[in-house]
Amino acid sequence: MELPLVEVRRYVRTLDYDAIVTFEAYTKEAQEALERKLNTAKNDFKLYEAIRKRESFLVKPEVISISWKYNNILLSTDGKTFILPLDEELVKLFTDREAGSYYFELRVNKIIPKGEKKAYFMSEVEAVYQAEYDYDTAKELLKQFKAWELLCYAIGYKADIKNFATRFALFSSLFSFNDQAIHTVTFTNPRTGKSRCAKMLMGLAKAYVTPFPTPAKLIYDSRKFSYGLCYFYNHLYIDEFDKVYSSRRKDSFKDSYEVLLDGMANGIWQRETTSKDYINLVSFCFMGNIEQDNLKSYDLSAYSNNSREKLKEYIAQIGVNPEPFLDRIHYVEYIKDAPIAKAMLNYSERNNVLFLKPAISRSIIKMLQDQCLAQDIARRASSLIDDFFNAMKAVIETLQIEGLDDYTIEKLVKGELSFYDIAKGEKLIEQENQAEEEVKIEEIDMSEFAKEVS
């Protein structure tokens, strides 16, 4: 079977590749239309112009709540709140916790001022857009390619084990095993594409990318009576984790620490300031940069070569007890010599980036997630390291990574080795696929960039 890749050229520089691929906006016209719709709600002047011209725009809500007094639904994003009439179909989306996977096309009918610079926007829903899936093609491709190779193609990378190794932590946190979410930490040299990869995964799984959020945004906002990110998403990528120590995010991290630990351990999310609680397994991947072998003013490389010990020192300097955090992290890596992102991209002959079709990529990820849940428990656990070992072995077998024995996997979870170390050392046995596979590159001209939910 041919590998269905799409060739993507970015015509609008303000659009990320993840948005282009997610909405399949492959032409200049489609990207310009997408940019207008996506960026309207982020800019007050663009929003004002759209309201004046009665133009619609796209939002992906960060916070969703209900007004019992006025029988409305409130969608909040980019500091703005859009009020929608209560609708049975919308209620079903929110009840099933699927709203985070959808984009809403809105049109504002009325502005209700709430002070000098704030307002509520009475809106109507023009359309709701959801992701497409292609399980049939995904099944066929999984018979021909290794799972890790297909994940490389999904994010626009060449299917090289060293490329995959730089994203091992991000891919691993897409999985759960034995009723536990898998949590990872990755620190690398800058410009390796961590944020870009995480944003790509936002369009392919129930994932969200954010710097460390406030407790209200993470769990529940008692002032707005609205659920946070942990209610609607299964995977959170915490960006710029290296800046938590020296920024205002430090306070957010410390304020959220106890409830974060509880949620990471058992999927129960509850703030002390509210009686609202809910259960949802959410995996975390904490991502940060290493600047010249150290993180700003605190030198992590000087303490230990063990990644867990480095992370312990870092968390301690934030001002919290690091042990409980370490007890919830399955895999930690510090990579100082990863290639820059551009060197890993899968280019066409015309030097455009090639991606596996997103409908297929979403299906592959969902199928792999189910496969991981079904993996056998390899070891009778008598310690946390055994739990971490079982989870990471399940991930490694699901991704069809060959050449790793139990001793090596244990060194991975203990922080004595990173997967990138293994890939660089050529300890993995890569078997060449003897079958000749023709790669078909398609240029798709799409006037619409998503399927409307009927």
Strands lying side by side in the sheet with 235-239: 207-211, 235-239, 283-289, 184-188, 331-335
Order of strands, sheet of 3-8, starting from the edge strand that comes earlier in the sequence? 353-356, 3-8, 439-442
Task: Specify if 415 maps to a domain.
Answer: yes
Is there a single domain that holds both residue 221 and residue 113?
no
Domain membership flag for residue 443: no
Same domain, 126 and 166: no
* Together in a domain, 246 and 387: yes
Q: Please tell me the predicted confidence (pLDDT) of residue 102.
A: 82
Same domain for 94 and 220, yes or no, is no
Cα within 13 Å of Cα(46), Cβ side? 12
Same domain? For 218 and 342 the reply is: yes
Question: 153 with 159: CB under 8 angstroms?
Answer: yes
In a shared domain, residues 111 and 182: no
Number of domains in the chain: 2
Where a domain ends, among 105, 130, 155? 130
Identify the domain containing residue 304 by its residue range.
146-432
Give the number of other CB atoms < 10 A from CB of residue 49.
Answer: 12
- Same domain membership, residue 216 and residue 335: yes
H or E segment and range at residue 394 = helix 384-398
Which helix (H) or strand (E) element contains residue 58? strand 57-59
- State which amino acid sits at residue 234: N
Pairing of strands 119-130, 451-452: antiparallel
Q: Examine the domain organization and report whether 179 and 58 are in the same domain.
A: no
Q: What is the pLDDT along the chain (454 residues), one digit of tens a residue?
A: 889 999 999 999 989 888 898 888 999 999 999 999 999 999 999 999 999 999 999 998 877 788 888 889 998 888 899 999 988 888 877 776 655 568 899 999 999 998 888 899 999 999 988 888 999 999 999 999 999 999 999 999 999 999 999 999 999 999 999 999 999 999 999 999 999 999 999 989 999 999 999 888 899 887 777 888 998 899 999 999 999 987 778 888 999 999 999 999 999 998 876 667 899 999 999 999 997 444 444 444 444 689 999 999 999 999 999 999 999 999 999 999 999 999 999 999 999 999 999 999 999 999 999 999 999 999 999 999 999 999 999 999 999 999 999 999 999 999 999 999 999 984 444 443 433 444 454 444 434 434 443 3
Six-digit token string for 17: 């590749």
Residues 6+ apart with CB under 8 A from 243: 211, 249, 288
Number of neighbours of residue 173 by Cβ within 10 angstroms: 30
What is the radius of gyration, based on Cα positions, of the chain? 22
Which CATH number characterizes residue 350's domain?
Answer: 3.40.50
Question: 249 and 302, same structural domain?
Answer: yes
d(CA 217, CA 232): 11
Beta carbons of 82 and 74 less than 8 angstroms apart: yes
